[in-house]
Amino acid sequence: MLFSSIWWFGFVVAIGLMIGLYADVAFIRDNAGGLFLLVGIQHMIVLVVLGFFAIREKADNFEVGNRVSTMGYLHTLIGTSVALILTAKYGPEVIEHVENIIAPIGSSLITSIIGWAFGKEMEREKYRLRASTEEETNNALEFLAQKVTNSALLIEKSSNLWAETITKSTHQIHNTSQQLEIELKETAKRSEEMNALLSESFDNIYKKMEQNLEGISTVMERDLKNTSEYSQKIIKDSLALLEEQFKQIEQSSQLMKNQFERSSTDADKVFRNSIDTFDNGLNKMGDIAKEWDKHLKTMKRFSTHSDSAIDQLTHTSQKVIDEISTIAQTLPKAGEMLTNLDDFIANIKRKDKPSS
């Protein structure tokens, strides 16, 4: 850009003149005031003209105005430096050459005034670049395209993150499903083993109960048979004896009747014979009572045998309950079966106690 080139060119020339003055170049020392005034003012005028053209060529008016103001201030600093250098050069003769010393400062102030005045003018709003409708549309489209691009990048990033999250979740679900399937298979296997063990235990229980019940039934049938045969024998003998006694009583009664009919004189004899006959009958009845007492004692012994059989059944059932309790530790539902079995045994005891 031409504006930037001229800006740097004038700055370099001014610095070069200042260095030449410091090196005590006679031409520069003798004409310091005019040289720095000429260089500074010409440099600032050229920058102002090129600055306005730069603004029209779509340059930033704030940047151009700021650079013009800055260069005017730099020329002021350069002029002040020149005055100080000349003061050092003249030494005791400062008063005689005071005109040459003050001239660079005055010229530098003129450049600063030009720079600040036109620089701030360039920064005004009316010199700001006015874009055309087409340019505004292009700028808007470019801005919109940039926003769309940023949104697309953000969506792509979010999609990648979402896809990664879904992949991880799917993998985790797959692993969890496999682990659950393995646990279900192991649980099913253990359940089958438990069912097999339970079935086997129940079979053993049923077999033992069947064997014990068969044994108890055999004992009870044998006792009942023996007791029944013995009781029937006693009853038959008692009935026969009782029938015989009744026949004797009947004969005695008939004999008493005949005696009363024969003679009243024989009444005393008949009465005594009747008493003897009744005594014999009573004795026979006593014997019958004794036989019935034996029969009752036998029935009582039978009841004792029945109680023993019930006790044996209870003992055997308790063994069965203990075995079922062992199974119930691994299967909670076996407790209900134990309760039902206890109720069954209690019912058996309640039914057998009244009969005994």
Break the chain into its structural domains and give their ranges: 2-130, 199-355
Cα separation, 4 vs 68, in Å, equals 10
User: Distance between CA 119 and CA 62 in Å, rounded?
Assistant: 9
What is the predicted pLDDT for the residue at 213?
Answer: 66
CA 138 to chain centre: 56
Task: Using pLDDT thresholds of 50, 70 and 90, give the confidence band for residue 119.
Answer: confident
Amino acid at 272: R
pLDDT tens profile 254-304: 665 566 556 444 545 544 554 555 455 555 555 655 655 565 555 555 445
Q: Where does the pLDDT of residue 9 fall: very low under 50, low under 70, confident under 90, or very high at 90 and above? A: confident
User: Can you give the pLDDT at residue 120?
Assistant: 84
Give the gyration radius of the chain's Cα atoms.
73
Q: Would you state the structure tokens that stand for residue 287, as one six-digit string?
A: 């014997």
**What per-residue confidence (pLDDT) applies to 278?**
47
Average pLDDT for residues 17-28, to the nearest whole number? 81
CB 224 within 8 A of CB 302: yes
Q: Please identify which residue in the block is written with the tokens 């055309």.
A: 132
CA atoms in the 13 A half-sphere facing the CB of 353: 6
Of the pLDDT bands very low, low, confident and very high (cuts 50, 70, 90), residue 131 is very low
Write out the two tokens for 217: 């039934």
Higher pLDDT, 335 or 35: 35
pLDDT for position 264 = 46
Mean of the pLDDT values across residues 198-202? Answer: 75
Q: What is the mean pLDDT of the chain?
A: 71
User: What per-residue confidence (pLDDT) applies to 206?
Assistant: 64
Single-letter amino acid code for the residue at 49: V
**Quick one: what percent of the chain has pLDDT higher than 70?**
55
Has residue 323 got a pLDDT over 60? no
Q: How far apart are CA 54 and CA 39, in angstroms?
A: 22
Mean pLDDT of 234-239: 65
Highest mean pLDDT among 191-200, 215-224, 266-275, 277-286: 191-200
> Above 80 in pLDDT, residue 25?
yes
Q: Where are the alpha helices (DSSP H) in the chain?
A: 2-22, 26-30, 32-56, 61-90, 98-122, 133-262, 267-328, 334-355
- With beta carbons less than 8 A apart as the criterion, state whether 3 and 51 touch: yes
pLDDT at 261: 57
Report pTM: 0.35
